[in-house]
Amino acid sequence: MDVKTFGQEVQNGRVEAVNILSNEGDIYTASALIRGKEHTLENDDSRQPLVFHSYIEAKRRFEDYRVPLTLKQSEVYDEMVSGVTRQH
């Protein structure tokens, strides 16, 4: 979802939250949660995912939208064993 569409969805009250996704190193991306489904936020022109180099940078980008922000950290386990419930 491009940023322009995201803004319209926020105005219409459809965005439940913005998830800031922690990836490798200092790479963060964002997704909008709409009706329980995540939509990756993309640049308007290039259609590439928005990329941030810190959580603070991402947080500042979305603070004017006044929607809840959630930091979601990826785990090595999730990448290696996707979709399998952990048993200890």
Global pTM value: 0.79
Does residue 10 sit in helix, strand or coil? helix
pLDDT surpassing 70 at residue 84: no
The domain locations on the chain are 3-74
Architecture of domain 3-74: 2-Layer Sandwich (3.30)
pLDDT surpassing 50 at residue 87: no
Tell me, what's the pLDDT at 37? 97
Tell me, what's the pLDDT at 26? 86
Tell me, what's the pLDDT at 39? 97
DSSP symbols for 44-79: TTT-PBP-BSSHHHHHHHHGGG---EEEEE--HHHH
pLDDT surpassing 80 at residue 6: yes
